[in-house]
């Protein structure tokens, strides 16, 4: 029991956390933000100056970035100006128009491309047919040339044979005229 009334008041008031506890709490918060957070597209002024990644809490539980939380400083962000938003809007509009234009070009080109592909397929089939016809003609020509060579060789052998017979048997008529000996 306190002896004095002032001692009772001091004992009943909650103690403020020590500086060491505050630093440890900030470090825990900073680690949580770093582990579960995301890199902000626009860095706060401290992270921009130090060149660090400005990591924000994904759950939005903490409003400061990890670096500012760890250091115990305020986290100041410069929001984009109206001019920047206008530039972004114009760029989006231009890209949307370009996309629409390219889609209409594609709509015009697709039927033409399909028609050309059909014509190409027909031409390809014609090429295949002509190649088959060419191969068949080449085969026939080779066969005919072999037959011609065979007939010439047969004719040469026949003339040799007739010459031998003509040398052996005297004949008044030549075999070319159709005479027999």
Distances from the Cα of 1 to the Cα of 6, 10, 14, 97, 147, angstroms: 12, 13, 17, 82, 135
Average pLDDT score, the chain: 83
- At 1, the pLDDT band (50, 70, 90 cuts) reads low
Per domain, the residue ranges of the chain are 5-71
**Would you say residue 175 has pLDDT above 60?**
no
| Alpha-carbon gap, residue 17 to 123, rounded angstroms | 88
Q: Whole-model pTM?
A: 0.37
Beta bridge partners of 56: 38
What digits encode the pLDDT tens for the residues 109-143?
A: 999 999 999 999 999 999 999 999 999 999 999 99
Residues whose CB falls within 8 Å of the CB of residue 74, separated by 6 or more in sequence, listed in order: 64, 68
| Alpha-carbon gap, residue 181 to 169, rounded angstroms | 7
What digits encode the pLDDT tens for the residues 64-121?
A: 888 888 888 888 876 666 777 888 899 999 999 999 999 999 999 999 999 999 999 9
Helix (H) or strand (E) segment spanning residue 92: helix 82-168
**Would you say residue 15 has pLDDT above 80?**
no
Q: What is the pLDDT of residue 59?
A: 75
34 within 8 A of 57, measured Cβ to Cβ = no
Tokens standing for residue 143: 């066969």
Nearest CA to 44 among 61, 57, 25?
A: 57
3 secondary structure, DSSP code: S
Q: What is the pLDDT of residue 177?
A: 52
């Amino acid at each position: 029991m306190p002896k004095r009334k002032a001692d009772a008041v001091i004992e009943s008031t909650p103690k403020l956390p020590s500086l060491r506890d505050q630093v440890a709490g900030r470090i825990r918060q900073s680690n949580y933000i770093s582990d579960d957070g995301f890199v902000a597209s626009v860095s706060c002024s401290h992270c921009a100056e130090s060149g660090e990644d400005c990591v924000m809490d994904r759950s939005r539980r903490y409003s400061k970035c990890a670096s500012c939380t760890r250091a115990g400083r305020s986290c100041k962000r410069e929001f984009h100006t109206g001019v920047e938003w206008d530039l972004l809007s114009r760029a989006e509009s231009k890209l949307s128009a370009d996309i629409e234009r390219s889609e209409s070009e594609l709509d015009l080109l697709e039927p033409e491309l399909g028609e050309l592909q059909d014509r190409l397929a027909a031409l390809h089939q014609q090429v295949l047919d002509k190649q088959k016809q060419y191969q068949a003609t080449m085969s026939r020509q080779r066969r005919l040339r072999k037959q011609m060579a065979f007939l010439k060789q047969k004719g040469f052998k026949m003339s040799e044979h007739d010459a031998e017979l003509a040398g052996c048997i005297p004949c008044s008529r030549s075999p070319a005229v159709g005479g027999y000996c």
